[in-house]
Chain A
Amino acid sequence: MQIESSTNTTAIIMFTAFVVLTLMITYWASNKSKTASGFYTAGGNISGLQNGLAISGDFMSAASFLGISGLVFLTGFDGLIYSIGFLVGWPIILLLIAEPLRNLGKYTFADVASFRLKQKPIRTLAALGSLFTVILYLIAQMVGAGKLIELLFGLSYASAVMIVGSLMILYVTFGGMLATTWVQIIKAILLLSGATVIALLVLAQFDFSFNDFFAKAVDSHPKLDAILAPGGLISDPISAISLGLALMFGTAGLPHILMRFFTVKDAVEARKSVVYATGFIGYFYILTFIIGFGAIVLVLNDPQYLQPDGKTLIGNNNMAAIHLSHAVGGDLLLGFISAVAFATILAVVSGLTLAGASAISHDLYSNALGKSVTEEKEMRISKYATVALGLLAIFLGIIFEKQNVAFMVGLAFAIAASTNFPILLLSIYWKNLTTKGAIIGGTAGLITAIILVVIGPVVWVDILKNSSPLFPYKYPALFSMLITFIGIWVFSITDKSKQAQKEKLLFKNQYFRSQTGVGIEKGSSH
C-alpha cells in the first residue's frame, strides 16, 4: 500500500521523538511519584490550565478524532450530534460535580460516594462501575490502536497492541499521575495544533469562505445537500433522548476524568480546569467538523485514497482525517498526524489504566477489604494493578481484533451515566441517600445497562447474528438511568435502619464541606 511506505520515515522519527520525550518525563516524575498522593494526584500541584489541557488530552481520544471526522465524512451533519453530546457533559460537571468532588475526595470518586456511607459496599460498587467503564473503553482504544498502527506504520496488529500496552505500563507504573498528566498535555497540544493546521490548509483552498467550502462539499458528496441535514443517526424520539442522556451525564461518571480533579490544589482551580477543557474540546470538535467536510471535498473523489472498488477509503472511513492530512500537507503532515494519532492513543490508555489501577488499589484493596494497609503496601498494589491491567488490555485487544468494538464506548458511557454518575450526584446533594439505596439502585442500573446492550440491535443482531433484537433501541441510558434513580429513591426512603439514620445525620457536615472546602487537604508543595 502506498500510504505505508511513504509515511514510515517521518512518522517513525516523530513518534520516536514523542516516546523519548515522554519516557524522560516519566523518569523525572518517578521520584515524585513514590508517595500515594504523588502517584494518584501528582501531589495536587497541577495548575488549572495544565489540568484543563490534560483533561482535554484525556477526552480527545483517537476514537473521537478519527471516529467523528470519519462520521462527518460519511454523514455530514450527523457527526455534529455526537460532538455536541460529548461537549454538553462539561457544563454539567462544572455546575454540579467539580467543586464538591474536589472538596470531598482525595484520590478517587469513590472517596466522595463513601464519605458518609458504608465504606465497603459503596467502594466495591464504585470500583466495579469504574472498572467496567475503564476496561470497555480500553478495549475500544486498543483495537483502534492496533488497526491504525498496522495501517500507518506497517507493523503487525499484535505487535502494535503490545507496544502501546508496554509503553502505557511504563508511564503509569513509574511516573504515576505526574507523568500521565504531562503525556496528556503534550498530546493535547500536538493534536490541537495538528488538527488546526489541517483545517486551515483546507479552508485556505476556499479563501476562508465557509459558504464556498460547504457548496463544494455538497457538490462532491453522493448524498448532495442531505449532508447539511440530520440523517439516519437518530430516527426516533426514544433513541434521541436515550443517547442524549448517556452523552450528557456519562461524561460526569467517567472515572479517569473525575480523577483529574484531585490533581489541582482546590475548588477554584478545579473550576478553571473545566473552562479550559471545555474551550479546548469545543474548539477541537469544530476542527473535526471542518476536517470531515474537508475530506468530502479533497479525499472522497481522489482515487489514490480509495480502495479498488472506488467507494470506501483505504483502511476504512475512520481514516478520512489521515488521508486528508496527506491531501493538504503531503508526506510531512501525514507523518506528523500519524505520530499524533499514535501519541493520542498512548495518552488516553495511560489515563484509563491509572484510573483502573486506583480503583483496584485504593478502593478495593485498601478500603473495601478492610485490612489496615500501609501507604507503601497500597502503592505496591497499585503498581501490580497497573501491570495486570496493561497485560489484560493487550490480551483483550488481541482477542477482540476482528470484532466490532464501536458499541463498547457507548456501553461505557451508559454504565457511567447509570451507575457512577447517579451515586456520585446523590451522595453529594441528597440528604436521604442511604447505603442500601445506593447499592441496590446502582447495581440494578449497571446490570440493566449491560443486559439492554447485549439484547439490543448491536450485539444481539449484528454480532450474535440473531434475526431480531429482544430490546429495540440501540441506547439503553434512558431506561437504565430511570431504574437507577427509582431504585435508589425507593430503597433509600424505605430504609429505616440505624445505619441509615446515622448517614442522614452526617449529611449536614458533609454538605458544608462540599460547598465551602473547609477542612480539605491542600496540595502539598515539594
Chain B
Amino acid sequence: MKNSKDYDLLLSERKKIVLRLLTVIIFSYFSFISVIAFNPNFFGQLIANTFYSIGIVFGFLLILLIFIVTLFYVYLANKTLEPLIKNIHKQFK
C-alpha cells in the first residue's frame, strides 16, 4: 500500500535536505565548542584596531547561522517536500 513514487521521492529528498543541514549545524557548533576547549586563545584575539574578539564575532555569526538554517529548511520544505506530501494525501485519501 505504501508504494508510491511520490513517497519514495519524498523520503529521498527529505533525507538529502535534513542530512545536509544537520551536518552544517553539528559541524559548526562542535567546531565552536572545540576551539573553546582546545585553543581558547584563538577566540581571544582582537581583530586589528578594534575591540571585537574573534570569539564574539564567530559567536554572533553562529547565532545568525542557526536562524538561517531553520529559515532555509522551511523554504526547501515548502518548495520540494510540500507538493509531494499534497500528492500523497490525494492518493491515500
Contact = CB atoms under 8 A, between A and B. Distances in A.
Interface of A: 77, 80-81, 83-84, 87-88, 90-92, 94-96, 210-211, 214-215, 218, 225-226, 228-230, 234, 236-237, 239-241, 243-244, 248, 268, 271-272, 274-275, 278-279, 282, 285-286, 508-509, 512, 515-518
A244 B64 CA distance: 18
7 closest cross-chain pairs (CB), A and B: A229-B44, A240-B37, A228-B53, A214-B51, A230-B40, A237-B37, A80-B59
A515 B11 contact: yes
A271 B77 contact: yes
B36 A230 contact: yes
A458 B6 CA distance: 53
A226 B85 contact: no
Contacts of A77: 43, 53, 55-56, 59
A516 B10 contact: yes
Interface string B18-39: 1001100110011011101110
Nearest to A240: B37
A226 B66 contact: no
B21 A91 contact: yes
Contact of A286 (B29, B38, B60): B60
Contact of B92 (A243, A274, A286, A518): A518
Given A228-B46, A275-B71, A508-B2, A248 B29 contact: yes
Contact of B63 (A240, A268, A272, A285): A285
8 contacts: A77-B56, A88-B29, A91-B70, A225-B44, A228-B52, A244-B30, A279-B67, A515-B11
Interface string B67-93: 101110110010000100100110010
Given A94-B73, A230-B55, A240 B62 contact: no
Nearest to A87: B66
Interface of B: 2, 7, 10-11, 14, 18, 21-22, 25-26, 29-30, 32-34, 36-38, 40-41, 43-44, 46, 50-53, 55-56, 59-60, 62-64, 66-67, 69-71, 73-74, 77, 82, 85, 88-89, 92
B73 A509 contact: no
A516 B82 CA distance: 9
Contact of A509 (B2, B7, B71): B2
A211 B52 CA distance: 7
Contacts of A236: 37
Contacts of B22: 91-92, 95-96
Contacts of A241: 30, 33, 37
From DSSP, what is the main secondary structure of chain A's interface residues?
A: helix
Contact of A512 (B2, B43, B64, B70): B2
Nearest to B93: A518
A87 B36 CA distance: 17
Which of B18, B26, B33 gathers most chain A CB within 10 Å?
B33
Contacts of B7: 512, 515-516
Contacts of A282: 63-64, 66-67
B17 to A, nearest CB: 8
A230 B25 CA distance: 21
Nearest to A286: B63
A482 to B, nearest CB: 16
Contacts of A234: 33, 36-37
A518 B88 CA distance: 8
A518 B1 CA distance: 13
Contact of A91 (B10, B38, B73): B73
B66 A275 contact: no
A516 B89 contact: yes
Given A214-B51, A272-B74, A516-B88, A92 B25 contact: yes
Nearest to B75: A275
Contact of B32 (A84, A215, A512): A84
Nearest to A217: B51
A210 B47 CA distance: 13
A237 B32 CA distance: 12
Which of B14, B18, B44 gathers most chain A CB within 10 Å?
B44
B58 to A, nearest CB: 10
Given A77-B59, A95-B18, 16 more contacts: A77-B56, A80-B56, A87-B63, A88-B25, A88-B62, A96-B18, A96-B22, A225-B51, A228-B52, A230-B40, A241-B30, A271-B73, A271-B77, A282-B66, A515-B14, A516-B10
A214 B49 CA distance: 12
A230 B35 CA distance: 9
Contacts of A80: 55-56, 59
Nearest to B45: A229
Contacts of A96: 18, 22
B6 to A, nearest CB: 9
